[in-house]
Chains A and B, each alone.
Chain A
Amino acid sequence: MTAMIKVHALQKHFIMHNQGGIRLPVFSDVAFDVSAGEALILHGESGVGKTSLLRILYGNYKPSSGHVLVRHGEDYIDLATATPRAILTVRRKTIRYVSQFLRVIPRVTTLDIVKDPLLARGIDDTMATEKAKDLLSRLNLAERLWHLAPATFSGGEQQRVNIARCFVDPASILLLDEPTASLDAKNRDVVVDLINEARESGAAIIGIFHDEYVRDRVATRRLDLTQFKKAA
């Protein structure tokens, strides 16, 4: 199996300059690989650094030391040292990140948000619209909402828009931070199916799920971050 992500000797701490320069350790010596077709579920109590790790894997947080090698095409890019432009390219083509919250852009309609990753990759508008609509229907998002900006949507509706945006064009690496948190059982199952379909077609998945039901249906492997916390 091809490793899609290789994490090596990863260490992260925050220094709060405006609070007396206090050093907040998150974790250290984190090391793991995730291959295509695997779903790694991050474990550990709140504050153990699950979300921080996921953000580092997306290039959103800078590692304090260590390496995050992401397979991009035929090569590995080290997100710890990559240029901003390289990271943006990797995000556009290789990594998708779904957070718990949708970052709403003023005035942009649901349909436009969902089809944006396809358009950014150069898929033509008709095709992109069709795929976006299919996915929104599958996630049971009422059609009357498609042409509205999601600013006024409920938490569950916004989350489904976020998920649709991710799975409309599943990249080879998916980072999922509680994507099912505010969903009802029916939609939760749809998301579970989407995740498994993506994994079966070769995506490497790293996720955080509090819901044991979802974890059991999605995970191929688990990683408890508590061990790295101690070391930090």
Chain B
Amino acid sequence: MSAQTIDADYNFGYLDEQTKRMIRRALLKAVAIPGYQVPFGSREMPLARGWGTGGIQITAALIGPEDTLKVIDQGADDTTNAVSIRRFFARVAGVKTTEKTNEATLIQTRHRIPEYPLSKGQILVYQVPQPEPLRKVESSEVETRKMHAWSEYGAMHVRLYEDIARYGRVATSYSYPVMVNDRYVMSPTPIPKFDNPKMDHMPALQLFGAGREKRIYAVPPFTKVKSLDFEDYPFEVQKWNEPCALCGARGSYLDEVITDDRGGRMFVCSDSSYCEDRRDAGHTGTQIDWAKDKAYLDPNPDEAA
């Protein structure tokens, strides 16, 4: 996609320069202490809190005219939230936007990490609803800060213990807590635990913003990120019995799509850009093959007419 004309009524990137500097300072601190939640003065954004204002503020503080922005929501580039945020930055910063993971310098995400491995120099900005991984076991903020400060993380494992006791395995499938750089327990936001291993030693910089909770945290490139587990119940990611129905990919994160009201369903890649890429390269899944068989997908509609 091409760059748009910048809306001159706003400062570049929407936020004023003082606010950007405040956020950048918080980001620097966050990068210096991987996994530590840095408080910051979260601003009002032209978007309701809880819709990604933390991520948007980080993006706004970082974005420059040379950047290329990709925004995904649940893996998809074409959902309302992703489209709105992309348009917003096209308007207030005039930057190029893209759906291609490898073209982006800055990727803002909600709930997913792209399937394509990220590379050095890229920045992944997560929108975070609840930054405190200990909140479910300890409601007091004073107490959770002490627990982080002194690495008192026994209670975190109680959550995992409870899952195994009740379901025979750790049933937590998203927002699965991780230990960053052997020091801080961190919530990876509601990404599926499928994506957790991608965070470990990722070449890209990972930044996390919680607008409502006013917290910023970070994982610098090539940092150890380990999902919490037990020796006898090691961390595992979700697996699917079938490949993507559209592109035939195995080993990508699949969404279940209901296709009719008679129990019909299929599983397709959650990362829409990745799926499209594969189809462009000639990969097909069962759904495409079946459609071709039925001539629902006619390569040449003119002839059929």
* Direct chain A–B contact by Cβ atoms under 8 Å: no
